[in-house]
Homo-oligomer: A and B are copies of this chain.
Amino acid sequence: MTEPALALLDFDAAGRAVGHHLADVTQPHLSVLDLAATRGDGVFETISLANGHLQALEPHLARFAHSAAMLDLPAPDPEAWRAAIRAVAALVVDADGAPVDEGFVKIVMSRGVEGGSGSLDPRALVPTGWVLGAVAPDHGAARRDGIRIVLLDRGYRHDIAQTAPWLLTGAKTLSYAINRGVFREAARRGADDALFVSTDGFLLEGAVSNLVLRRGQTLRTPRTDLGILAGTTQVDMFAWAESVGYATEYALLTPQDLEEADAVWLVSSGRHAAPVRAIDGRERPVDAELTARVNAALHARTH
């Protein structure tokens, strides 16, 4: 394939997805009044596609629905979205028409097209939704050689999701300007990625990934009540790790835990487990063997 595959969701007047149709990604399909484009007012998920298999599709759909609920968006109809996702996934193929080794399908739903009046009234808005599928970028170097990260203050306390839910922490929204900004800040510091830390000193998440530490035979990740995104890939990494004898734990972690860890990864749907080889400029060992096993297991997922 040369261009990504695209399907647009069809909604009825009540905001319910009733179907989809394929569309040409090289053509414009969004209004300049769409709240995705003017306010980042919507939600998304990125699902990895391994040899034609949509990985962790149901957990992604569940998180999509959770994010939509946090934003008071209409509940996405899973059946309609699944059908569009499968239609697009089937088009992510190589020149011979065979499924690609690694692709991705991205699903997006915005609050819809605003009137020209500047009104913020969400009533009567019908969502906009689309599904995009494409060949994945090559993550080989990051998985093999590791990534350099820097710790960046997230600005929030660790309990922000409980004390200020209107800040939408834990929802995967289209308002990702900060997430992209931290990649630029990381690059300015000679790193590839960032790890957010709460103002009161707890490790949170990467800009678009979850943190996993190994110490001995135990894998640990930050608790999901810290205003972070609950990781679909991290969950699968833990399930595999338990199946081969590791203990796993959701914990309150600090930079001291990073220092004491035998191995550190940032984990996400697209890149899978990227081993961390430097933190704030200090090199650290990469667990190449376990990384390779984890990524082979993630790539081989059948759910």
A6 lies within 8 A of B30 (CB): no
A32 lies within 8 A of B175 (CB): no
Number of copies: 2
Q: Which residues of B contact A40 (CB under 8 A)?
A: 39-40, 173-177
Q: Which residues of B contact A270 (CB under 8 A)?
A: 118
Q: Which residues of B contact A216 (CB under 8 A)?
A: none
The answer, yes or no, to whether A72 is at the interface (CB within 8 Å) is yes
Q: Which residues of B contact A42 (CB under 8 A)?
A: 177
B178 lies within 8 A of A167 (CB): yes
A178 partner, pick from B35, B134, B175, beta carbons under 8 A: B175
A90-115 interface mask toward B, CB cutoff 8 Å, 1 = contact, 0 = none? 00000000000000101010100000
A159-184 interface mask toward B, CB cutoff 8 Å, 1 = contact, 0 = none? 01001111110010111111111111
A13-48 interface mask toward B, CB cutoff 8 Å, 1 = contact, 0 = none? 000000000000101111111111111111010100
The answer, yes or no, to whether A11 is at the interface (CB within 8 Å) is no
B178 lies within 8 A of A176 (CB): no
The answer, yes or no, to whether A87 is at the interface (CB within 8 Å) is no
12 interchain pairs, CB-CB under 8 A: A30-B30, A38-B176, A40-B173, A40-B175, A40-B176, A71-B181, A116-B132, A117-B136, A122-B184, A157-B199, A168-B177, A173-B177
